[in-house]
Homo-oligomer: A and B are copies of this chain.
């Protein structure tokens, strides 16, 4: 492609409403243009990248044995009624009436349609296992579309659905898809993690999310330093620490006239925050379903985890206690609470880390006072209820027993689910099994946000000057830039020849023949993230070299024609 015959329109201005780097850079590079809230046109430049992602996804899905089909974007209400999702899916479902007042939705996902297809097309266990997929436009009516294509309303997705006679077959295909996803993100050149995930709204029994790692990611991920274990921070288990050490201090009262937080108390005392204990007053129910006051203890430097708290007996629907309830049960106002000397009606629950502490600091249940040097079994009874109540932190042992946890931020770009028989059952999808009896197949579903990957890749790969595309996603791998193409020294011809030679060698190359000033031209090529830049100039020609620079390199090099080609061939993606 010659840039003079392409549509490239970069912008120097930083768009006002773009909050994250990918949104900003996609607008500045002219990859997308906003049509309306959450609706974007992919410009010729943007579409080249989108198609690269699509191609890798398609090739790996095919290689994994999945079969491509194409379902309509518009789906009849009746199917969604069968699974109860017409109401349950919520406001993200864009509902539509046609000219005959029949109701439809613009598909945000296709479980209903594929299950309808399967119940008509699958008759026998001999047709199983089977995995269908499509790459198709979807719509979710986000309340607040933002971040460009990262959270657009109309977006491109790969969604796959598998059907199995047995749970073992489902588990096998789940692993197969899991592995294919790994190959996809590896081929795309992205740093990613597969994390254990909550199944959320789609439901089912097992699921992993695939996250592209980026500092701007919405999700915090805990991952093992030694294995491929990874989980959402909220879901990762904090293991019990080693045995409790021996007490060395006696319990004493500390005046804390205005110190109501662990941070303030630790600062006042000049001790580590990890020596303090936070007491959180909650209201749950007891075994007889009567209100139960609970004091949950986590270490001062830890964060209590709401999901884990809610798993404790009686706390499924807990709430924070009111000041009046706290006063009634502990005789104190908030800010000075603690587990020492509490009434039997107060249920104390200790995080595993707290249960292993010695010589710790807690509130004294008295305004302006804390207790230091507190020890279990001596100053208060050994905790009866000990559980994992907190978010993991960097350095915690990995729950799989290998290595320690690191924390990274991630952008969810893929999701694999074991759906089980929920949809097939609701929609009466059966096949005949080996004995001739109708059997409900188990299903898996496997999604990849194709358009979202483009934005996530930029979040992971950019600098102050623009995008740094991985080789496999770049609109072109190389740019041949012509300095002063209209002079007589033959630079235009030399550039043209190199451009042709590179493309003939299978290296997708663009020729910047726009005749712009070098600074403007280089700025564009950097902004749009072409990995390899080759400058053809009169001076270089005289010396028999081209100026080569990798997008991530600090300096340019002078290379011969053969070396340029060798350098590019060496980095050719699969």
Residues of A within 8 A of B (CB): 5-7, 9, 30, 33, 35-37, 39-44, 46-47, 50, 65, 67-76, 91, 94, 96, 98-99, 102, 104, 106, 113, 116-117, 120-121, 127, 130, 132, 137, 139, 141, 143, 153-154
**Are A39 and B69 interface neighbours, CB within 8 A?**
no
Residue A113 contacts which of B7, B9, B35 (CB distance < 8 angstroms)?
B35
**Shortest distance from the beta carbon of A127 to any chain B beta carbon, whole Å:** 8
Given contacts A7-B132, A39-B76, A41-B72, 4 further A-B contacts (CB under 8 A): A35-B113, A44-B67, A47-B70, A96-B106
Q: Report Cα–Cα, A70/B49, bound state, in Å.
A: 12
**Among all A-B residue pairs, the 9 with the closest Cβ atoms:** A42-B70, A36-B76, A39-B72, A44-B67, A41-B71, A91-B99, A99-B141, A72-B154, A44-B69
Contact of A44 with B68 at beta-carbon distance under 8 Å, contacts A35-B113, A113-B35 already known? yes
Q: Which residues of B contact A98 (CB under 8 A)?
A: 94, 141, 153
**Are B121 and A9 interface neighbours, CB within 8 A?**
yes
Q: Report Cα–Cα, A67/B99, bound state, in Å.
A: 35
**Are A35 and B116 interface neighbours, CB within 8 A?**
yes
**Shortest distance from the beta carbon of A169 to any chain B beta carbon, whole Å:** 15
Q: Report Cα–Cα, A6/B41, bound state, in Å.
A: 35
Q: Report Cα–Cα, A106/B139, bound state, in Å.
A: 12
**Are A96 and B99 interface neighbours, CB within 8 A?**
no
Q: Which residues of B contact A6 (CB under 8 A)?
A: 67
- Which of chain B's residues has its CB closest to A76's CB? B36
CB pairs A–B below 8 angstroms (11 shown) = A7-B127, A35-B72, A36-B104, A39-B75, A41-B113, A41-B117, A42-B70, A44-B68, A98-B141, A99-B141, A106-B106
Q: Report Cα–Cα, A153/B30, bound state, in Å.
A: 33
**Are B39 and A130 interface neighbours, CB within 8 A?**
no
**Are A121 and B43 interface neighbours, CB within 8 A?**
yes
**Are B94 and A44 interface neighbours, CB within 8 A?**
no
Residue A139 contacts which of B42, B68, B74, B143 (CB distance < 8 angstroms)?
B74
